[in-house]
Structure 1
Amino acid sequence: MIKKTMSALVLTLGLGAGIAQADTHGGEYAFDTQGQHQFIMFKISHLGYSWLYGRFNEFDGQFTFDEGNPENSSVSVTVQTDSIDSNHAERDKHLRSDDYLDVDKFPEATFKSTRIETTGDRTAKVHGDLTLHGVTREVTLDMTQIGYGEDPWGGYRMGFAGSVEIEPANFGMELDLGPTAEKLELILSVEGIKQ
């Protein structure tokens, strides 16, 4: 009888611990700006001959992950547009000018989710408002949860990656890179630290 009672107690405690562990990754997360475990990159065709890649070096954000109802999760991102880096100083100067990003007038670009639609165990379509060059448009990011868990420094982390294709002309920007450059792909990879 004592053996059965002890076994039941151990089983109950084990299940409880499993549930508690499963619940640990829900909550609010801040982007890891200190460790720079985050990237916003872009990819656009150059005259139809090659891909031009670049990134934004300075951005911040946060997300809330609702484990029980992932559709109730949310994310917001703020990008410093003058941090654009395409590995070419003169081109970056041109991209920052009023011909394109006009960073003096529009120093920030933002994304704020409005709705999340789960598409799989770790995938979702994140619908939201992208404000770029002073223009706000609804876009949809295809996102994948990469992983989550305790880090070596006593914190708890979760990471996501995803992308969205936009048309710069829809945001009032005409990129002079040829007719094949009508679309630009934004690629996001972030690691959040639970708060």
Structure 2
Amino acid sequence: MTRSFLKSALIPVALLASVPAILHAQAADPAPAAAQAGTYKVETSHTRVGFSLMHFGFSEWYGEFADVTGSLSIDPAKIENTKLAVSIPVATVSTTNATLDEELVSADWFDAEGHPTITFVSTKVKRTGERTADVTGNLTFHGVTKPVTLHASFNAGGVNPMSQAYTLGFNATGTITRSDFGVKNYVPAVGDEVTLRISAAFEKGE
């Protein structure tokens, strides 16, 4: 019993000892010019689409979507040629309130059964700074398609020390008017303007 206990106790110690080596295997490079051109796919596990809006004018209310999929084609030397397409399952909406989540996926709100995915397909990319760009595209939500501009910033590129995949990371923000997409419940008491906050990782294809 003592031998088994010592063995189980030493396993996490060994894992902890390896963490610094893993994390410092290759530092992520924040320089856009150093990023590798190519075609990437969304790294679903570390990509989130968050949203927020005012609740009766008192507080900001938050939620997010997960299980995002999609592709990115990018060349840092020709950023205007970037192509982005993503798909978001409506049923993954989470607000940390299970009752509210069930309400949001219902036909009264997002209608996950009738419109199971949210999609964004870029139509134009414009560099706005050394590490920033505006990405304009068509957002389809709740069966309605409208142009939306996302303000994107480059985080870094490099080999993920855990997956060993070359990865690019970005943040992005934007706003939409939910009533434009037919989601009008409680407007204007519950905010019509929705702020989007996106954190996305992309792994390079073979």
Length-normalised TM-score, structure 1: 0.84
Aligned to 1:8: none
Give, as a single letter, the amino acid of the residue that structure 2 aligns with 1:110: T
Asked whether the 8 Å contact 2:46–2:200 carries over to 1, the reply is yes
Aligned counterpart for 2:174 among listed residues 164, 167, 171: 164
Q: Write the letter of the residue equivalent to 1:183.
A: E
Alignment partner, residue 19 of structure 2: none
The alignment status of 1:141 with 2:153, answered yes or no, reads no
1:114 aligns with 2:132: no
- Structure 2 residue aligned with 1:28: 39
**What SS does the corresponding residue of 1:85 show, helix, strand or coil?**
coil
Distance 1:179 1:122, change over 3 A: same
Alignment of 1:179 with 2:186, yes or no, is: no
* Contact 1:166/1:183, CA 8 A, preserved across alignment: yes
1:54 is aligned to 63
Asked whether the 8 Å contact 1:160–1:189 carries over to 2, the reply is yes
**In structure 2, how many angstroms separate the alpha carbons of the residues matched to 1:180 and 1:97?**
18
Structure 1 residue 81, shift from structure 2 partner: 0.3
Please tell me the root mean square deviation across aligned C-alpha atoms, in Å: 1.5
Distance 1:39 1:171 in 2: 21
TM normalised by structure 2 equals: 0.79
Distance 1:140 1:24 in 2: 23
User: How many residue pairs align between the two structures?
Assistant: 172
**In structure 1, C-alpha distance between the alignment counterparts of 2:194 and 2:97, rounded to whole Å:** 18
Which sections of structure 1, spanning at least 5 residues, go unmatched? 1-21
C-alpha contact (below 8 Å) 1:48/1:178 kept by paired residues = no
Cα pair 2:47 2:66 within 8 Å, conserved:
no
AA matched with 1:66: D
* Deviation of 1:180 (Å): 5.4
Alignment of 1:4-153 (within 5 A): 25-33=36-44, 36-152=45-161, 153=163
Runs of 4+ in 1 over 6 A off after TM superposition: none
SS in 1 for 2:122: strand
Structure 1 residues 128-183: Cα deviation after superposition (integer angstroms, max 9, x where no partner): 00000000000000000111012224321101110110011000111326535010
Residue by residue over 1:50-102, the C-alpha shift from the partner in whole angstroms, topping out at 9 and shown as x without a partner, is: 11111112221111111221000111110100111111111111111111101
C-alpha separation between the residues in 1 aligned to 2:188 and 2:132?
Answer: 34
Supply the distance in 1 between the matched residues of 2:65 and 2:77 (Cα, whole angstroms). 33
Deviation at 1:116, TM superposition (A): 0.2
Q: Which residue identity lines up with residue 151 of structure 1 in the other structure?
A: N
Residue 30 (structure 2) aligns with:
none
